[in-house]
A and B are shown apart, each in its own frame.
Chain A
């Protein structure tokens, strides 16, 4: 890594300009971690397949105060997700929440949206203090610490008790890599009160021809009996790299449902952490990567079962064509107190090219005796018999392959319960598979 000094200078300047003790404290601690450990390398077990530090051979800089050019606005227009008219649309520009570009359509009784700094100055201060930065106790690597060292322009979402949110929240991350290699570091904290219901989708776009790196952290607290659906759609350019951590803390009998869809991109690492901090939770995690070119997508999930009676089910699927790489690593921890844990995990993969690679690895760490855990992993090819059947009815080979790939993707797409988003992703997948 070449520009340590750049980050040092930026860090000092940020700290000097910001009197907020809560933030300066968290930042300081994490910048120490970053300075000590640097960026993750292949020598670290958790980063064995994803050489994130190699990206930083290039000098990344933070974007200046983004001027909102007409081309930015039109890119923003293009990245809107279907059903946006009915959604709360929140925009991050170069990693900072941009209220002026955002549209909040839910009433305040259902949804509170605040810049993180403002939330710290409000009645939510104690909440933020309690939950912001919890992910640092699970992920101690340099890239995660780098995000936390520069928390600035973050987002705070609060869904009050019992609110069944009518309008989903769509978050658009727009980064401008037109002038130099750009590092964007979005940060958000989402607090879903007891019995509330909340749907969230995030998507990313990088414009400009330099490299873009998005290093995101989102922490979500799901209180008792609350229900959260979380969707991530990654379909960015090959110059768009990403590391992100979604850290979810589940309280009693809450329900979390996530789908991560990865199509195009550069080097992508998705961390998804679930901490079962109370009993009786239910969690469903789904992933679908349809990769080609040199796209590299590394999905890491971690479920820490600390309390009894939690159920989790994971299904991650991937297709790797050309010289792409798909990785799935699923870690399940069952703590001594977490009796009657049910944790299932499955990874299904299709390898379409000799130059592509797929790695899938379960990691079970079980310290309780009365549990049910299973994992399974398959890597195969498209079904030859099925291809033959389709071709024997006059469907050309390429189209037959596309049909089978759609079929492979279908059960994950079905898990997108937000109907307009499901339509949106169907369209994306259709376009993605048709131009191969």
Chain B
């Protein structure tokens, strides 16, 4: 599904990612954890194609295609979805119209007819129920005046509508209250299928209690410094990052 090989990336001339390797197979859920500023969102941005991020080395294959050669929109239409850590507010663009445009752009890319109003509405209803999001939110401008939790829920709703092959969820759990976390996590679980992969970026074990990952990776200073199974997350929760980062910083100082 996704194969990242030795990715190095710069922002404003500064190297943030220093050789990332990661393989995600269809249906797998991977979690990436790591201290603030370690490069988690940068990795997500590089995969989504954000233009400020310059890839200086390495390659990424997505369903066999050279991902880095594709435009931002083509990556999305190939089935890559990024739920943003900080979704942007876009006043004046209605959420519903935007999602309809996005769904139909994807269909066009796949050679399908656009959904008619009735079919679109039906799909909306179904997915709204799945992530428990209300109509009133969707008739407003994109994220405008949404609370933090509402923005996150809207991201997952878009994921449900776009049915991606690979979803990268960047701290979708942060800013959610306990009930919202459960609802969003249940929504994500309903979207788990044998051929849909998920990359979860999170700081907290709590999300991983709901969505059990197949693998957990620790990103530190632009590298994946440790990988393991879901038990690794529990260990981190208990001990903090120090037990990993200390040894790395020491070896770097030698």
Chain A: CB-nearest residue to B86 = A385
Q: Are A394 and B90 in contact (CB under 8 A)?
A: no
- The stretch among A180-188, A263-271, A406-414 that forms the contact with chain B is A406-414
Does any Cβ of A come within 8 Å of B102's Cβ?
Answer: yes
Does any Cβ of B come within 8 Å of A393's Cβ?
Answer: yes
Q: Are B91 and A407 in contact (CB under 8 A)?
A: yes
Bound CA–CA A386/B72 (angstroms): 13
Bound CA–CA A16/B141 (angstroms): 63
Q: Are B73 and A394 in contact (CB under 8 A)?
A: yes
A110 to chain B, nearest CB (A): 37
Give the residue of B72, B77, B92, B142 whose beta carbon is less than 8 angstroms from that of A388: B72
- The stretch among A2-10, A115-123, A396-404 that forms the contact with chain B is A396-404
Q: Are A406 and B93 in contact (CB under 8 A)?
A: yes
- On chain A, the residues within 8 Å of B84 by CB distance are 389, 392
- On chain A, the residues within 8 Å of B93 by CB distance are 390, 403-404, 406-407
Contact (A392, B109) CB under 8 Å given A403-B93, A407-B92: no
Give the residue of A388, A403, A410, A411 whose beta carbon is less than 8 angstroms from that of B101: A403
Contact (A392, B101) CB under 8 Å given A407-B91, A407-B92, A408-B92: no
Contact (A389, B76) CB under 8 Å given A394-B105, A394-B162, A403-B101: no
Task: Give the A interface residue count (CB, 8 A).
Answer: 22
Contact (A394, B106) CB under 8 Å given A388-B72, A389-B84, A403-B98: yes
Contact (A393, B92) CB under 8 Å given A388-B50, A388-B72: no
Does any Cβ of A come within 8 Å of B197's Cβ?
Answer: no
- On chain B, the residues within 8 Å of A396 by CB distance are 73, 105
Bound CA–CA A328/B92 (angstroms): 23
Does any Cβ of B come within 8 Å of A391's Cβ?
Answer: yes
Chain B: CB-nearest residue to A410 = B92
B117-170 with Cβ < 8 A to chain A:
141-142, 158, 162
Q: Are A389 and B88 in contact (CB under 8 A)?
A: yes
- On chain A, the residues within 8 Å of B48 by CB distance are 392
Chain B: CB-nearest residue to A389 = B88
Q: Are B88 and A386 in contact (CB under 8 A)?
A: yes
Most buried by A among B84, B101, B106: B101
Does any Cβ of A come within 8 Å of B58's Cβ?
Answer: no
Does any Cβ of B come within 8 Å of A379's Cβ?
Answer: no
B48-71 with Cβ < 8 A to chain A:
48-51, 71
Chain A: CB-nearest residue to B79 = A394
- On chain A, the residues within 8 Å of B88 by CB distance are 383, 385-386, 388-389
- On chain B, the residues within 8 Å of A126 by CB distance are none
Bound CA–CA A385/B91 (angstroms): 13
Q: Bin the interface of chain B by size.
A: 20 to 34
- On chain B, the residues within 8 Å of A410 by CB distance are 92
Q: Are A394 and B76 in contact (CB under 8 A)?
A: yes
B81-105 with Cβ < 8 A to chain A:
82, 84, 87-88, 90-93, 98-99, 101-102, 105
Q: Are B98 and A386 in contact (CB under 8 A)?
A: no
Q: Are B90 and A393 in contact (CB under 8 A)?
A: no
Does any Cβ of B come within 8 Å of A395's Cβ?
Answer: yes
B191 to chain A, nearest CB (A): 16
Q: Are A394 and B91 in contact (CB under 8 A)?
A: no
Bound CA–CA A399/B93 (angstroms): 12
A26 to chain B, nearest CB (A): 46
Q: Are B109 and A394 in contact (CB under 8 A)?
A: yes
Chain A: CB-nearest residue to B87 = A389
Chain B: CB-nearest residue to A400 = B73
Bound CA–CA A410/B77 (angstroms): 28
Give the residue of B50, B73, B92 whose beta carbon is less than 8 angstroms from that of A395: B73
Bound CA–CA A385/B71 (angstroms): 16
Q: Are B102 and A404 in contact (CB under 8 A)?
A: no
Bound CA–CA A388/B99 (angstroms): 15
Q: Are A395 and B102 in contact (CB under 8 A)?
A: yes
Bound CA–CA A399/B76 (angstroms): 15
Q: Are A392 and B72 in contact (CB under 8 A)?
A: yes
- On chain A, the residues within 8 Å of B158 by CB distance are 393
- On chain B, the residues within 8 Å of A388 by CB distance are 50-51, 72, 88
A356-404 with Cβ < 8 A to chain B:
383, 385-386, 388-397, 399-400, 403-404
Q: Are A391 and B98 in contact (CB under 8 A)?
A: no
Bound CA–CA A408/B92 (angstroms): 7
A100 to chain B, nearest CB (A): 44
Give the residue of B50, B92, B102 whose beta carbon is less than 8 angstroms from that of A394: B102
B53 to chain A, nearest CB (A): 11
Bound CA–CA A397/B75 (angstroms): 13
Chain A: CB-nearest residue to B142 = A389
A394-436 with Cβ < 8 A to chain B:
394-397, 399-400, 403-404, 406-408, 410-411
Bound CA–CA A400/B101 (angstroms): 10
What are 26 A-B pairs with beta-carbon distances under 8 A?
A383-B88, A385-B88, A386-B88, A386-B90, A388-B72, A389-B90, A390-B90, A391-B49, A391-B72, A391-B73, A391-B76, A392-B73, A392-B84, A393-B102, A393-B158, A393-B162, A394-B77, A394-B102, A395-B98, A395-B105, A396-B73, A397-B73, A406-B92, A407-B90, A407-B93, A411-B92
Known: A392-B72, A394-B102, A408-B92. 12 other contacts (CB 8 A): A383-B90, A388-B50, A390-B90, A392-B76, A392-B82, A393-B76, A393-B98, A394-B109, A395-B73, A395-B105, A396-B105, A406-B93
10 closest pairs, A vs B, by CB? A407-B92, A394-B76, A393-B102, A391-B72, A394-B77, A410-B92, A394-B105, A385-B88, A391-B73, A386-B90
